[in-house]
Chains A and B, each alone.
Chain A
Amino acid sequence: MNRASRQLRRVLASRGKKHVEMRKQATKMEKAKKRGQYGLKQSLKQKKTLYPRLVMEGSHLGCTFCKKVGSLGPEKSAGMKLAKDQAAEDSSRDTVTRASYSGLAKRLSSYSFVQNLGLMYDALQELSELYLELGLLASTAFELPGNIERTAAGVVPSSDPHQIITPLVLSYFADVCLSCPQIQRGIAYEKTAAEVSCWRNIILQNQKAEQMVFPLNQESSGPKRVEQVVAGWKVQTPLEQEIFRLLHINSQPVADPVLTPVEEQSLKAMSLEEAKIRRAELQKARALQSYYEAKAKREKKIKSKKYHKVQKKAKCKDFLKQFDEMVKTNPEGALEELKKMELSRMEERMSLKHQNSGKWAKSKAIMAKYDDSARKAMQEQLQMNKDLTQKIVVPSDDEHESNEEGLETVPDFVNDSEPVIDSVNPWMRGQLTHEEPEVSCVTTEDVQTAEEENEEEELVGEFERKRKLRQADEEDLIPTEEEQPASEVVEDVVEVSDKEEEEEEEEDDDEEEEDVSEFNTLFRLMRSEKTLEGSNPTREGLNTPGQEDEDGLLNEGQVRVRNIEDLEVLGEVVDPQPIAEPSLPQTAAVEATSEPPNKKKREIDLKEVLTKEAKAVKVPFLPTVVDEEERDEQISIIKEAFAGDDVISDFIKDKSKREAAGRPEVVDLTLPGWGEWGGVGLKPPRWKRKRFRIKAAPPPPRQDQKLPDVIISENRNASVAAHQVSQLPFPFQNTAQFESSIRTPIGPTWNTQSVVKNMTKPKVITKMGAIIEPMVKEHFIKNKTTTPGGKGPAIMLGENKRAKEGAKRSSEKHRGRRSQKRRK
């Protein structure tokens, strides 16, 4: 108890350093305590008006102590004493603890302890009462100024409080007047603004929504409760009236909630968005499953026997490997497997399945004389039977190997047809002839099992590759230039330029030629794409990211437009706004940006190509079928017809001429005779020529630079320019963005119906004849108490975040402005 009072004193002393009175009070308190009287109480009563601060401090402590000590009141101490007495008399404890317990009991029962406790208890109660009083005083904010005045008056009791303190305090709080209307308005405004901002998320969401359907369907599409349906329904027929009368008589609880609140909540639990997300997930899972199934099915459907054979073999290998491992690790499992094998063997022996005794086998037997494949099939059957009925010995390593060898010694191809019965007729050779080399290599290598494994893997890989190739064909993949060998490129060019010889070429059966032609088509495709891209009308004239035009301004005039002709006339009369001519450097810049700076890419150099071409013209594309004389005739005819008419070289010349015209000329500004001797035959010195000949920057690369057989005019077409966009429109940041927005067609000519529907869906849909009610707060903002703007998504999207930041920034800006603004 002493310690507690000392602590109290210490705290009070430390807090009251500034106020001497406070300290004095503390010492007084101690003295009073020492005297053992209720002096503390008295002194506190005396001083409570004088030392509000002290009282406050004290009451704080009082509260905490009250909690601790208050529970330890006289009654409790008596109880404790009793407990201690009992503990002291308890025989089960050892003597030392019993002694300590008895000592404690004595201490508890001593007169001084009880007195101290009582004193402390009273003092703390007093303090807590004071604290509560003060709390009450401070609670009403509007009376605070008065309270402050009152307390301030109390701080200095000796002199007249109103003389010294009140003016000071009042001057300090002069402009803070809580009851004045301005502050009330401010508070009310803040409150309302905060309340209204809870709509922000919804408003943002609606602004960003791709489509809004009005009237906003506020009622859930789920099952409706009975009373909801009943509410909007009027009794009309006599039968209904009768029924309702009966219901009324029996007081059927129509209006009572049929659903419990829990049920209602569960109905509302999943919002539409959540449901959509969930559905999408499920769909995805289902799709994945179906893909997997489809894959399995596809593999199963592959008709190639060889593929399946190989697969089966691979599986078998795997199984054997596993079995080997199992023998080592899990003998019981291996034994079971063995038993299974045994069982299958038994079954095989019992049945006539592979004995060549079935209907099919008999028919084959008849055919076997003439048909190799039938014979082979029969052999296979027998082999299978043999395999299956072979007795399995408990596998030890060497035995297993020999066993396997035994299995493998009779490979499938042994029963193949004899190589080349009829070399003339390719059809008689059957399928296998194509794969002959592979087969042969297998036969040579099949002795070593390990190598065979590799072989099989290769085969599987080859299948895969083939399949992929086929897929690629289907997708019409256009190989890039760098993938093609140079020779092919050259050949292609030859072919492209000599179209008259194409027909002759067709007869050529060679595989390579086919490849080349295939490549050619691809190449042509690619080229046509390029030219299209080059002639894209929106390309030029977009480069100037101009100032924002007066968007949305209506062109208001006195011209009335009543029909299409008027519109046409309008076009002629009202000159479209002057379109800035795209200057050359800008196009250059565009070219530079649009062209990837990939120098490694193989480009077709015009010169190189042309030299080769010159040779190629001489190379005759011999039609093998056409007779020699005929060909000669044709050639001579063609030569005669185009004698002295070299179209190709003309074209090349024309193109080079155009290129030269496009190149900027060197400007010669030298003045002969300026600052030196002049006259006939005198040339200006070299330094002068060097200095005054000005070379212009090279023009941007021509669009047809890489296209040997095309000339693309780079002159601006005025008639097209009227339809082109001259400035980058507002929301776009670069030309590429804008072009991409234009490039994708949205019409039904190019897209499937669903895609068109999706792309052209309107932003706002209204229902005909339906009244669109304003938003209802209860429907959109569920619980106002949680947070302002509580309905927002848990994860903010990037855009949203940005919007938020923007809002914050703007609000800051506003605040800045507001502070500047003059106030009334």
Chain B
Amino acid sequence: MKVKVLCRNPDDYVRETTRDIQRVPRNYDPTLHPFEVPREYTRALNATKLERVFAKPFVASLDGHRDGISCITKHAKSLSTVISGACDGEVKLWNLPKQECLRTVQAHEGFVRGICSRFCGTSFFTVGDDKTIKQWNLEAPGYGVREEPINTILGKAVFTGIDHHQRESTFVTCGQTVDIWDEQRSSPIRSFSWGVDSFSCVRYNPVETELLASCASDRSIVLYDTRESAPLRKVVMQLRSNTLCWNPMEAYYFTCANEDYNLYTYDIRHLDVPVTVHMDHVSAVLDVDYSPTGREFVSASFDKTIRIFPKDKGHSREVYHTKRMQHVICVRWSADNKYVLSGSDEMNIRLWKANASEKLGLLSTREKAAAHYNKKLIEKFQHHPQVRRIARHRHLPGDILKQKREQREMKEARRRREQNVRKHSKPGSVPLLTEKEKHVVAVVE
């Protein structure tokens, strides 16, 4: 015998609080609720306006460093901890919810060039201008005990960057060569060099953990595989790339921040043409970091702004700036996909919301539903001129605007010139290059 049970969703009839309005069954007959499109349009417009009104991305500023911030890293296991290094060799550990400095370490003489935390979250590594690699404990030493590194390695040349393996106890540094180190040894277990004298950044691929990519000073990006004896391939671009970041969800994509104000996303299987060129900055891009979902990335620029790009779009969806923020040197996206951290020249670390108008904290079910509905409405009516105009409006400081205008004119002039050259030369002799093709000089095998 089959027993049928009456089953109702409590959401349909239970009020959230006793003060709440009674839930009434609703008649969905469309004739009773006419003008659905105009009504939804009005709602969409309102939602867009509210979104812009509530777009207050700036959360907090962490001050305490006595020089410009040169590098930031996230704690591998704790969301609330962040480690930053400054240009005076000082390293600070921050507690984000309390917005306070937990610990200060004078790690190096001169710049702290790079920091990375170990995957287990027990220690972190720093490299500095004093040609040393130091490993520090993340636990603070007891009262009265001096801050001492667990381990110090003296190198032959200055190290400019460091990154740790995702699961194993090896790390990689870059300087004159790209070196792979074992934590237990004081000399590199592996050294890669390919006719370049200095590298500025090296990063492990977080997914394909044996893959490496580095930015070299000869305008090239070099790929490595730690299992192979030689580097894999090299892309030479028109200008130097400062940093790069691998997509944590899509193993073969990485994005590099270039001196020519653009960011380039590459597929390592087809290095000769970047997948996307991300343009919007008006000065050199200094740092880039992917969101942990791999859908977006944030970039820091010399033009004193931070921009957030969707990974497959050519233009940014968001730009953050404040009056006091100077050249942004480093930027990181928090591991819970909610915040962005930026370190800038004027000694502050700023905490931003990754989604400017998002409400923070716990949301009730109805709040969530309303937020989702509004988001969907904006998406649905995004092509309508009023909605689009409001949704896209951003405030920018005057000098950046001016630079932007200038650059647009320059670009236009360049385009016109090229057109004219093409017009007056033999057909086919001046090839029509797309924006993507313009920036890659060569792929070296």
Closest Cβ neighbor of B371 among chain A residues: A762
Contacts of A818 in B (CB 8 A): 272, 443
**B37 A537 Cβ-Cβ under 8 A:** yes
Q: Is B231 an interface residue (CB 8 A)?
A: yes
Separation of A818 and B377 alpha carbons in the complex (Å): 44
Closest Cβ neighbor of A810 among chain B residues: B270
Q: Is B410 an interface residue (CB 8 A)?
A: no
The answer to whether residues A552 and B317 also contact, given A562-B53, A750-B33, A774-B206 and a CB cut-off of 8 A, is yes
Interface residues of B in 91-148 (CB under 8 A from A): none
Contacts of A184 in B (CB 8 A): 228-230
Minimum Cβ distance to chain A for residue B9 (Å): 8
Closest Cβ neighbor of A537 among chain B residues: B38
Q: Is B386 an interface residue (CB 8 A)?
A: yes
The answer to whether residues A196 and B252 also contact, given A723-B384, A817-B272 and a CB cut-off of 8 A, is yes
Additional 10 contacts, C-beta under 8 A, given A756-B369, A772-B292: A188-B232, A192-B211, A195-B208, A206-B249, A554-B394, A556-B319, A556-B395, A574-B389, A745-B40, A762-B375
**A775 B270 Cβ-Cβ under 8 A:** no
**B437 A760 Cβ-Cβ under 8 A:** no
**A576 B389 Cβ-Cβ under 8 A:** yes
The answer to whether residues A556 and B401 also contact, given A537-B38, A576-B386 and a CB cut-off of 8 A, is yes
**A774 B248 Cβ-Cβ under 8 A:** yes
Separation of A818 and B37 alpha carbons in the complex (Å): 50
Contacts of B252 in A (CB 8 A): 196-197, 199, 203
**A748 B373 Cβ-Cβ under 8 A:** yes
**A747 B373 Cβ-Cβ under 8 A:** yes
Q: Is A571 an interface residue (CB 8 A)?
A: yes
Which 3 A-B residue pairings sit nearest by Cβ, starting from the closest? Answer: A774-B206, A772-B292, A774-B248
The answer to whether residues A188 and B315 also contact, given A196-B252, A199-B251 and a CB cut-off of 8 A, is no
Tell which of B40, B233, B397 touches A185, judged by Cβ atoms closer than 8 Å: B233
Q: Is A749 an interface residue (CB 8 A)?
A: yes
Separation of A537 and B384 alpha carbons in the complex (Å): 12
Listed residue (B79, B315, B336, B444) with the most chain A CB atoms within 10 angstroms of its CB? B336
**A775 B335 Cβ-Cβ under 8 A:** no
Q: Is B19 an interface residue (CB 8 A)?
A: no
**A203 B250 Cβ-Cβ under 8 A:** yes
Q: Is A125 an interface residue (CB 8 A)?
A: no
Contacts of B338 in A (CB 8 A): 766, 768
Listed residue (A192, A553, A577, A773) with the most chain B CB atoms within 10 angstroms of its CB? A192
**A823 B268 Cβ-Cβ under 8 A:** no
Tell which of A206, A552, A725, A749 touches B314, judged by Cβ atoms closer than 8 Å: A552
Contacts of A214 in B (CB 8 A): 292-293, 337
Q: Is A777 an interface residue (CB 8 A)?
A: yes
Minimum Cβ distance to chain A for residue B280 (Å): 8
Closest Cβ neighbor of B166 among chain A residues: A774
Contacts of A759 in B (CB 8 A): 376
Tell which of A206, A538, A760 touches B37, judged by Cβ atoms closer than 8 Å: A538
Contacts of B335 in A (CB 8 A): 771-772
Tell which of B50, B79, B315, B372 touches A552, judged by Cβ atoms closer than 8 Å: B315
Separation of A579 and B444 alpha carbons in the complex (Å): 49
Interface residues of B in 139-171 (CB under 8 A from A): 166
Closest Cβ neighbor of A564 among chain B residues: B49
Give chain B's interface residue range (CB within 8 Å of chain A): 35 or more
A–B Cβ pairs within 8 angstroms, 26 of them: A184-B229, A199-B208, A551-B315, A554-B315, A554-B394, A555-B389, A561-B53, A561-B395, A563-B53, A570-B393, A571-B390, A574-B393, A722-B386, A724-B384, A741-B380, A742-B37, A745-B40, A747-B39, A753-B12, A768-B362, A769-B79, A770-B336, A774-B206, A774-B249, A775-B207, A814-B273
Contacts of B337 in A (CB 8 A): 214, 764, 766, 772
**A814 B372 Cβ-Cβ under 8 A:** no
Q: Is A560 an interface residue (CB 8 A)?
A: yes
Minimum Cβ distance to chain B for residue A757 (Å): 7
Contacts of A91 in B (CB 8 A): none
Contacts of A776 in B (CB 8 A): 207
**B395 A560 Cβ-Cβ under 8 A:** yes
Tell which of A191, A537, A761 touches B372, judged by Cβ atoms closer than 8 Å: A761
Tell which of A206, A577, A777, A821 touches B385, judged by Cβ atoms closer than 8 Å: A577
Interface residues of A in 161-212 (CB under 8 A from B): 181-182, 184-186, 188-189, 191-193, 195-197, 199, 203, 206, 212
The answer to whether residues A197 and B269 also contact, given A745-B37, A750-B36 and a CB cut-off of 8 A, is yes
**B269 A567 Cβ-Cβ under 8 A:** no
Contacts of B442 in A (CB 8 A): 821-824
Closest Cβ neighbor of A206 among chain B residues: B249
Minimum Cβ distance to chain A for residue B309 (Å): 9
Q: Is B43 an interface residue (CB 8 A)?
A: yes
Tell which of A558, A767, A774 touches B401, judged by Cβ atoms closer than 8 Å: A558
Q: Is B66 an interface residue (CB 8 A)?
A: no
Q: Is B20 an interface residue (CB 8 A)?
A: no
Contacts of B375 in A (CB 8 A): 760, 762
Contacts of A551 in B (CB 8 A): 313, 315
Closest Cβ neighbor of A762 among chain B residues: B372
Q: Is A708 an interface residue (CB 8 A)?
A: no
**A745 B36 Cβ-Cβ under 8 A:** yes
The answer to whether residues A576 and B385 also contact, given A192-B211, A824-B444 and a CB cut-off of 8 A, is yes
Q: Is B41 an interface residue (CB 8 A)?
A: yes
Contacts of A814 in B (CB 8 A): 270, 272-273
Closest Cβ neighbor of A574 among chain B residues: B389
Tell which of A746, A764, A774 touches B377, judged by Cβ atoms closer than 8 Å: A746
Q: Is B383 an interface residue (CB 8 A)?
A: yes
Q: Is A2 an interface residue (CB 8 A)?
A: no
Q: Is A729 an interface residue (CB 8 A)?
A: yes
**B79 A771 Cβ-Cβ under 8 A:** yes
**B268 A196 Cβ-Cβ under 8 A:** yes
**A775 B248 Cβ-Cβ under 8 A:** yes
Separation of A773 and B336 alpha carbons in the complex (Å): 9
Listed residue (A576, A726, A775) with the most chain B CB atoms within 10 angstroms of its CB? A775
Q: Is B316 an interface residue (CB 8 A)?
A: yes
Q: Is A811 an interface residue (CB 8 A)?
A: yes
The answer to whether residues A571 and B389 also contact, given A561-B395, A746-B377, A775-B249 and a CB cut-off of 8 A, is yes
Q: Is B174 an interface residue (CB 8 A)?
A: no
The answer to whether residues A760 and B272 also contact, given A192-B211, A555-B392, A766-B338 and a CB cut-off of 8 A, is no
The answer to whether residues A771 and B272 also contact, given A567-B390, A723-B384 and a CB cut-off of 8 A, is no
Contacts of A822 in B (CB 8 A): 442
Closest Cβ neighbor of B396 among chain A residues: A556
Separation of A768 and B381 alpha carbons in the complex (Å): 29
Contacts of A773 in B (CB 8 A): 292
Render B380-417 as a binary contact track against A, CB cut-off 8 A, 1 for contact. 11011110011011111110110010000000000000
Separation of A376 and B336 alpha carbons in the complex (Å): 81
Closest Cβ neighbor of B292 among chain A residues: A772
Q: Is B428 an interface residue (CB 8 A)?
A: no
Closest Cβ neighbor of A182 among chain B residues: B445
Contacts of B208 in A (CB 8 A): 195-196, 199, 777
Minimum Cβ distance to chain B for residue A523 (Å): 15
**A554 B293 Cβ-Cβ under 8 A:** no
**B443 A189 Cβ-Cβ under 8 A:** no
Q: Is A743 an interface residue (CB 8 A)?
A: yes
**B225 A571 Cβ-Cβ under 8 A:** no
Q: Is B77 an interface residue (CB 8 A)?
A: yes
Contacts of B318 in A (CB 8 A): 554
**A552 B236 Cβ-Cβ under 8 A:** no
**B28 A561 Cβ-Cβ under 8 A:** no
Separation of A557 and B400 alpha carbons in the complex (Å): 10
Separation of A760 and B43 alpha carbons in the complex (Å): 14
Listed residue (A555, A556, A742, A811) with the most chain B CB atoms within 10 angstroms of its CB? A556
The answer to whether residues A185 and B230 also contact, given A559-B395, A560-B395, A775-B251 and a CB cut-off of 8 A, is yes
Contacts of B396 in A (CB 8 A): 556-558
Q: Is B190 an interface residue (CB 8 A)?
A: no
Q: Is A363 an interface residue (CB 8 A)?
A: no
**A821 B376 Cβ-Cβ under 8 A:** no
**B336 A766 Cβ-Cβ under 8 A:** yes
Contacts of A593 in B (CB 8 A): none
